[in-house]
């Protein structure tokens, strides 16, 4: 069931990418919701991915984080099927990672404080905070040891209740849509 929903989620995002005006409007609404939350305003540390063209555009979030004095960290996939986070600045250099995603060149940190906010990507989400990702389990493994706050930015098309999480899935603390913030 998850594989079928994963494929549907990818198709939904790729279809949305074909309507850049609609995608952009949805993103702006969701950015506004995010930037107004206390969890965003109170944190000084953001962990976030570099997005692919069909995914939620994370570039403006990184720019806003820097503009407001927050530190940003981006994941890099390691050889042992784990990921580590590397600090980024406007001067950071990147290379294509194993999945074609831009990854920073630099030294990973050992972990985050409880005050960090991780923005977790995904393809399909339910209102209990569970997500279907790309299928590698990287975030679920990382989140099993992570103690900070988590949230996901979700297009309306990505919300679905017709699937069940598995025992190793890790929910996020907040789902942010164009209309509201769902605290789980």
The pTM of this model reads: 0.92
Specify the 3-state DSSP secondary structure of 117: strand
For residues 122 and 144, give the distance between their C-alpha atoms in angstroms, rounded to a whole number. Answer: 16
For residues 153 and 177, give the distance between their C-alpha atoms in angstroms, rounded to a whole number. Answer: 6
What is the CATH topology of the domain spanning 2-183? Answer: Rossmann fold (3.40.50)
pLDDT digits (tens, 9 = 90+) for 41-80: 999 999 999 998 889 999 999 999 999 999 999 999 988 7
Residue 53 pLDDT: 86
């Amino acid at each position: 069931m998850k594989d079928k929903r994963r494929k549907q989620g990818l198709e939904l995002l790729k279809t949305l990418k074909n309507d850049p005006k609609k995608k952009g409007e949805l993103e702006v609404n969701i950015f506004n919701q995010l930037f107004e939350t206390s969890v965003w305003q109170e944190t000084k540390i953001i962990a976030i991915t570099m997005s692919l063209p069909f995914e939620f555009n994370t570039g403006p979030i990184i720019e806003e984080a820097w503009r407001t004095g927050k530190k940003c960290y981006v994941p890099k996939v390691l050889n042992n099927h784990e990921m580590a986070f590397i600090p980024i600045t406007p001067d950071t250099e990147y290379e294509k990672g194993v999945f074609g995603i831009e990854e920073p060149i630099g030294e990973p940190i050992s972990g985050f404080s409880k005050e960090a906010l991780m923005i977790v990507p995904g393809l399909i989400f339910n209102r209990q905070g569970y997500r279907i990702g790309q299928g590698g389990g990287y975030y679920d493994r990382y989140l099993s040891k992570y103690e900070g706050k988590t949230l996901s930015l979700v297009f309306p098309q990505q919300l679905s209740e017709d699937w069940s999480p598995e025992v190793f899935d890790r929910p996020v603390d907040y789902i942010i849509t164009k209309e509201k913030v769902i605290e789980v």
